[in-house]
Structure 1
């Protein structure tokens, strides 16, 4: 995004910073990102601010419009190198802002605001430098092979073409011989051109975003470059791209896991295409394959003898030939239903003149016991967690007459059991 000679007061010779630019950076006022600032300029004057980025990310320079004048704003380094610039529209509606984005590495930068033309003796300006920390945004300047941003496969990156001749270079490594897919964001009435090339600028693949959103090409192990450039109306429009040697991962919403009690468990994966290979693993990396199959339609279902009695996770991948297997996506499943208590485990005493008690025995430490007053729905009377094999719960008043309470137990990592009715006698 290199801009030489973009502003007369900045460059007298292309590639050489003007003395004025270098001398004024020491006087620049330091400002914070994501904060609005206001000021006033005399006609044809300018002001410089310093911005420090502690991490790389995306910076948006936003300047409010003024009905009496136009402002020029740009982001530069201490030597006067301009990364991007913006001009405000001069119009009666001054509620809007004009803005431009640029990706930058961590460092110190300067925002210069200039009154580029107007009627009044003073021009009131208002601006902000909005910042989003990100390792996945282009870092200017990256206009040639030598300054290409290093990127990872299978991650989405963003950037901006700042002018019609701008080219953004990215460097990536293909770890083994195989197919690689380039995906580019598509936007109506905007066309980016993306190409994959080697170090000698030989093009291996090229994609215009209006024609298709992706292309797949075979590549040998090695280092390559992706170049993004303007084709039609893409200047200052943020782009997105991904270079992958893997199939795109499933979404968790595509995976449904049922952990049954007393019968085989099931895993269903939907929104597939015929030929997709789906694999279910027991852990996030390495581990064992629980099940694997090739889709004959838009979904696949697996029967698994036992996922486990407690709440857990499975990890699912998909492979769309000729790409490699996707990353594993976790999906949580609920634990099995806890076994119900036996009536012989529960003793209910309906006291007269003091609180009633429910004693539950033959428990395990951590079991959660709940006492309800109805077979279904209804309110819970009391609950408690066992610290040993026995738990005693106190209820202020069950009633003077005989009746029933309904008891459940929830074991660690499992779901609540069904309610079991336990009778109690009337007060004595």
Structure 2
């Protein structure tokens, strides 16, 4: 942002000696996201040095003092002021006044000044909050030459720091087609956003109080998005997205049922009439398993066979006039494993030694379990087949005749239904 006006001039002049000397030579190094305290003499200031490891959002937050007010600012080593904040003098001194700014990685200087002049000494507290993000504006970006490069189909955030500030973003449209600009709306706050090409020719203007989005046809090329204050938007965080394709579905909208012995079903909910849903078998390229157009708020697509094992489908939505969305993965469970046949299991109730359960005709990796009840109950034995046969043993099934309940679980599938196997009494 470019710093204008008497207020900024006063801040710069009032803090210049402290900021320049302390920032360059005496500034104490601090960490982000930590609370710092101190005491300032009347009309005095202090500076701190803070380093951002990566680009992100920085919030300078200063606690109020009922007897005076503080002025805080963030600048670079050359004295360029990125943002500033004044604390209010109110009885509720538990409140922090704060301001946000997006900055690239690097070293910055935070200055705190006792600007109220009402007390000889004033206690202050402040934090420099930091959130790493590649999706926040990076000041200064108020000129075409310093525009932030952004990607389509991603949400970016920023702040207009004063009435004359504007934030400029550069993006590339990869092919001819429709592009949508969407801005988050906020009551009693109006941002003005507009898109222009490299010649300065406009391609759509949006006031956030009138509409949340606009769509326009754009040819392949480079464009700029300019975000500006229109009414009461200073220091209010904004959000926007520029898209040439539809926003993807969420995994919670997609439910997959992998049936045994009949067609499988992919259901997608929370749609609008006319939405086109496409189901793929791969994250990219792959095969289309099903495609349909919503006639209401949900659709159900049937697929002959997703597969017996656990897997994933990849679902997109297409809403005219934008292009198809990115694919969203949804996992489905495997089919229920086939139940064992009684001929595959032999239970021997030995006398004087461990009882055994022998399984045959298995596949390597099959997991077999032996329960003491038809439902719930206790697992008596469990094992994984290393070949076609496995023998499990237990100290005592019981002296009398009885039953055990057997399941198998094949790799990538659900556990089978329990099958009752009778055994004789000890002999």
The two structures have a TM-score, normalised by structure 1, of 0.95
Q: How does 1:150-229 map to 2 (within 5 A)?
A: 150-229=149-228
Distance in 1 between residues matched to 2:17 and 2:30, nearest whole Å: 23
Q: How does 1:98-177 map to 2 (within 5 A)?
A: 98-177=97-176
Counterpart of 2:12?
Answer: 10
* CA positional deviation for 1:18: 5.6
Q: Which moved more, 1:62-71 or 1:185-194?
A: 185-194
* Aligned partners of 2:4 and 2:164 also within 8 Å: no
Distance in 2 between residues matched to 1:19 and 1:174, nearest whole Å: 47
Distance in 1 between residues matched to 2:225 and 2:243, nearest whole Å: 12
Distance in 2 between residues matched to 1:7 and 1:47, nearest whole Å: 18
Q: How does 1:301-380 map to 2 (within 5 A)?
A: 301-380=300-379
Q: Which moved more, 1:393-402 or 1:77-86?
A: 393-402
Distance in 2 between residues matched to 1:272 and 1:230, nearest whole Å: 34
Distance in 1 between residues matched to 2:4 and 2:28, nearest whole Å: 25
Counterpart of 1:31?
Answer: 30
| Secondary structure at the counterpart of residue 412 of structure 1 | coil
Counterpart of 2:397?
Answer: 398
* CA positional deviation for 1:231: 1.5
* CA positional deviation for 1:46: 0.5
* CA positional deviation for 1:312: 0.3
Distance in 2 between residues matched to 1:94 and 1:296, nearest whole Å: 56
Distance in 2 between residues matched to 1:78 and 1:54, nearest whole Å: 17
String of CA shifts for 1:163-209, please: whole Å, max 9, x gaps.
Answer: 11211100001111110011111112211111111234332211111
Q: Any stretches of 5+ residues in structure 2 without a counterpart?
A: none
* CA positional deviation for 1:371: 1.1
Distance in 2 between residues matched to 1:46 and 1:302, nearest whole Å: 67
Aligned-pair Cα RMSD in Å: 1.6
Q: How does 1:230-309 map to 2 (within 5 A)?
A: 230-309=229-308
The number of equivalent residue pairs is: 424
* CA positional deviation for 1:135: 0.2
Distance in 2 between residues matched to 1:254 and 1:25, nearest whole Å: 52
Q: 1:49 to 1:243 in 2, by over 3 A?
A: same
* Aligned partners of 1:21 and 1:79 also within 8 Å: no
String of CA shifts for 1:321-370, please: whole Å, max 9, x gaps.
Answer: 11100000111111011111111111112222333221212222221111
String of CA shifts for 1:239-261, please: whole Å, max 9, x gaps.
Answer: 11100000111111221211111
* Aligned partners of 2:59 and 2:130 also within 8 Å: yes
| Secondary structure at the counterpart of residue 117 of structure 1 | coil
* Aligned partners of 1:66 and 1:90 also within 8 Å: yes
* CA positional deviation for 1:120: 2.2
Q: Any stretches of 5+ residues in structure 1 without a counterpart?
A: none
* CA positional deviation for 1:19: 7.0
* CA positional deviation for 1:54: 1.3
| Secondary structure at the counterpart of residue 343 of structure 2 | helix
Distance in 2 between residues matched to 1:153 and 1:308, nearest whole Å: 35
Distance in 2 between residues matched to 1:146 and 1:182, nearest whole Å: 22
The two structures have a TM-score, normalised by structure 2, of 0.96
